[in-house]
Structure 1
Amino acid sequence: MATDIKETAHAVEAATVMRLLPARPRLLALGEPTHGEDALLAVRNDLFRRLVEQEGYRTIAIESDCMRGLLVDDYVTSGTGTLDETMRHGFSHGWGASAANRDLVSWMHAYNEGRPASDRLHFAGFDGPLEMAEAESPRQALTALLGYLSLHVDADLLPGTPQTLDDLLGPDARWTKQAAMTDPTQSVGQSPEARQLRLLADDLVALLDTQTPHLINTTSRGDWDRARLYGRTAIGLLRYHHGMADTSPARMTQLLATRGQMMAQNLLALTERGPVLAHAHNAHLQRRKSSMRMAGKLLEWWSAGALVHAQLGQDYAFAATAVGTIRHQGVDTPPADSIEGLLYELPEDSCVVAPRRLATALGAARPTPRESPWFGYAPLDPGHLTDPDALVFVKDVRQS
């Protein structure tokens, strides 16, 4: 069996990944089993560079705030701001402190120098403006959308004014209370003002849609596309806040589903302008239903990857990443009878594995599920080995 497994493994190269796919997908997603490890992000960077240069991908999207990501895109495409400012303000979840993310942004900026606008590489965040403990105020998205429309459509068509927004929004601190994540009574999401804002956001997006020909002609497709992002974000945030105020047993499931929906909508919008590379946790990109246990209850929802795959079909491809060890987090050598343990015996430090060929090589053998001693790492589920189109294996994740 060891020989058969070895024959399924190849170097981590663009050509290797593409050979596992029937055709170049419009969206190629690379997952990771944990966050915050620059060693894994370095593998991502190298693979994405090759895919950009060899396969013509022109957008790199990561699991970060979609609104903040606009600052990064401005920097890499037109040099707006400085690298330090971009890393400080252009990422959520603390990702801006990552040396590997800094390397990625620097390379994208350098890649674009001297290139025509039509051939430039774009950056995008595709997560909502959400953190584990809180959600942002919808002010930025609503204000940006209203501002765009105010400049380019008849004032009589506008459903509100900046003062209307300010009156309904109130102080941002009302929206960003961390206590609201665990206590629905602390959320403003189902207040009369929030309900009015949901109607107002819907009217603004409807106006944006009905004025599409005029707006593209008088501004640009890029500006109009950003306005659509503002609209999606405003509506998604207001829906998320509404869910935070929910007291039903389905509250957390709905919040997870709303986040997945926001991610999926952003990814699908990005594919409208060309081929996209995306990077996030494996759980966000898998095709099957996602699940987690919270307070002893099993929560299940459709991930962004599942939602995108349902619409794109073979134009969506997913490469999962698995690891052998993360010793600085207490994740030591994997059990020999687990998927990770079998791959750990391979001589390469990293490799790309064909999941279907690996499943064939295993035959009737049923690998043991690996259990993680650290909450921040999610091992592969051997029962869903063939869910990804490719499997990137990194033998030892060393501390940066």
Structure 2
Amino acid sequence: MAALIQDSARPFTGGTLTALLSPATRLLGLGEPTHGVEAFPELRNELFRHLVEHEGYRSIAMESDCLAALAADAYVTDGIATLDDAMSRGFSHGFGASPANRELLRWMRAYNEQRPPHERLHFYGFDGPLEMTGAAGPRPALTALHGYVAAHLDLAWSRETLDELLGPDERWTDPATIMDPTRSVGRTPEAKELRLIADDLRALLTAHAPHLTAETSPDDWWRADLHARTATGLLRYHAGMADTAPTRVGALMCLRDAMMADNLDAIVRREARRGPILAFAHNRHLQRDKSHLRLGDLALEWWSAGAIIATHLGDRYAFAATTFGARGSDVPPPDTLEGLLSALPHARAVIDPGHLATALDRRLTPRVPADHTYLSLDPATTDQVDAIVFVKEI
């Protein structure tokens, strides 16, 4: 069996990975099994350079705040501000501290410097302005949307009306809300009215798209639509935070990935004429099968952004899951997928899941991680993965 498994693996290169994908791929999701380990964004950088130089990719989207990413994109596309500024303002989740992310923006800026605008690489975030400790307030997104539409159309709501309904930002960002739904303002009468206004503004943005695009630009309209998606998504999320039902946390997971999928869908449409996109996030946000997570006594299930977008794109969506072997004293048992792959001679390998399934002569046991930050691959669902990228040791 060992020889058959070796036949399913090749040393990692961008070319060995893309050889396993459908030629129709427009969105490639590269998952990582844990955050904060530089080996995975470093591998992502290597893959992205290959995709740009040999496969026609022109953009990358990361599991990071979609609004904050506008600052990072402004730096890489037009050299606006500095790299330090782009790192401090252009990421969420602490990802601005990653040396690999810094190298990514530096390389993208250098690539773009001598190229015309239509050939330049773009950087996107596709997460909402959300953290594990809570959600951002809707003011920045909602007022930016209102300002854009109000500059060209007569509206029933003034900026002062929005400010009055929004109230102090601290009401929206109270960290106690994550544990106590009664502290949330997401279902107050004012919040419900704001949801209606945000929905109406987005409808106006769509209904008047030809006029607004001609008056401004396609890029300006796209940013306004980004603010519309974010405003409506945040107001929906805050309403979910106010839910006192026992299903509250699972519902919030669903809402977050639905926002991610909306953003990915918009990015794919925007980039349709330029080239495919690489999306980088946790495996749980990009996988096709249902995501599972145990959080204390809660057993959570939700459909990931990858699963949702795959229903839209079909074989134009591809998913490469990344996993690893040893992490210090945490060595995977031999009856797990990671333990089996640890016998491969390659420090980094690309595995064909179909060939691997053919080579297996026994059922594998899911790996139980030594720490809560790592979520192992389910060996029973590798048939829904287009490629596995294995890092032998981190």
What's the TM-score once normalised by structure 1's chain length? 0.96
Question: Matches of 2:347 and 2:73 in 1, distance apart?
Answer: 33
Question: Matches of 2:208 and 2:159 in 1, distance apart?
Answer: 20
Between Structure 1 and Structure 2, how many residues are aligned?
390
Deviation for aligned residue 1:78: 0.4
Question: Matches of 1:77 and 1:242 in 2, distance apart?
Answer: 36
What's the TM-score once normalised by structure 2's chain length? 0.97
Question: Matches of 1:101 and 1:62 in 2, distance apart?
Answer: 10
Structure 2: which 5+ runs fail to align? Answer: none
Correspondent of 2:375 among 375, 378, 381: 378
Letter in 2 for 1:216: T
Q: Write out per-residue CA displacement over residues 111-159 of structure 1, whole angstroms, 9 at most, x where no aligned residue.
A: 11111111110000000000001100001101111111122x23x2x13
SS at match of 1:386: helix
Correspondent of 1:198 among 162, 170, 195: 195
1:351 alignment counterpart: 349
1:323 alignment counterpart: 324
SS at match of 2:349: strand
Q: Write out per-residue CA displacement over residues 173-216 of structure 1, whole angstroms, 9 at most, x where no aligned residue.
A: 10001111111100010011101100110111011011100111
Letter in 1 for 2:320: A
> Does 1:239 find its partner at 2:236?
yes
Question: Matches of 1:278 and 1:106 in 2, distance apart?
Answer: 18
Deviation for aligned residue 1:21: 1.7
Which stretch of the first structure deviates more once superposed, 209-218 or 9-18?
A: 9-18
> Does 1:263 find its partner at 2:264?
no
The answer to whether the 8 A contact 1:14-1:54 is kept is no
Q: Write out per-residue CA displacement over residues 296-328 of structure 1, whole angstroms, 9 at most, x where no aligned residue.
A: 23221111011000111001000000101222x
Question: Matches of 2:120 and 2:359 in 1, distance apart?
Answer: 42
The answer to whether the 8 A contact 1:145-1:230 is kept is yes
**Aligned-pair identity (%):** 56
SS at match of 1:175: helix
Question: Matches of 1:297 and 1:22 in 2, distance apart?
Answer: 37
1:34 alignment counterpart: 34
The answer to whether the 8 A contact 1:324-1:333 is kept is yes
The answer to whether the 8 A contact 1:319-1:390 is kept is yes
Question: Matches of 2:14 and 2:382 in 1, distance apart?
Answer: 21
Correspondence list, 1:226-375, <5 A: 226-274=223-271, 275-327=276-328, 332-362=330-360, 364-375=361-372
Correspondence list, 1:125-204, <5 A: 125-151=125-151, 153-154=152-153, 156=154, 158-204=155-201
Question: Matches of 1:316 and 1:294 in 2, distance apart?
Answer: 29
Structure 1: which 5+ runs fail to align? Answer: none
2:213 alignment counterpart: 216
> Does 1:84 find its partner at 2:84?
yes
Deviation for aligned residue 1:379: 1.3
Correspondence list, 1:117-128, <5 A: 117-128=117-128
Question: Matches of 2:236 and 2:169 in 1, distance apart?
Answer: 16
